[in-house]
Amino acid sequence: MNLDFILEDKPEDLDDKSWERINRLACSSIRLCLVKDQKYVFSKQNSVKELWQALEDKFMKRSIENRLYLKKMIFCF
């Protein structure tokens, strides 16, 4: 969908209304990929940067929960 530029700072050639529309589109696209239980947890974030950072903090950190999930996926494979 070519929405990866929204994670960077706002370009000068876009007006605020277009930027907000693109931001909402990107947020909704990310939320559509989440499981139903996770959608409500991450519904507080209104900008893509905040949403992406919250998802990284939750799923990219090395925790015992994430390791067990990865091991489960490997063993099922």
Q: What is the pLDDT of residues 33-75, one digit of tens each?
A: 888 877 778 888 888 888 888 888 887 777 788 788 888 888 8
CA atoms within 13 A on the CB side of 74: 6
Q: How confident is the model at residue 1 (pLDDT cuts 50, 70, 90)?
A: low
How many angstroms from the chain centroid is the CA of residue 41? 12
pLDDT of the residue at 2: 63
User: Domain limits of the chain?
Assistant: 4-76
pLDDT of the residue at 33: 86
- Is the pLDDT score of 27 beyond 70? yes
- Give the predicted TM-score (pTM) of the model: 0.68
d(CA 15, CA 30): 23
Rounded to 5°, the CA angle 65-75-31 comes to: 50
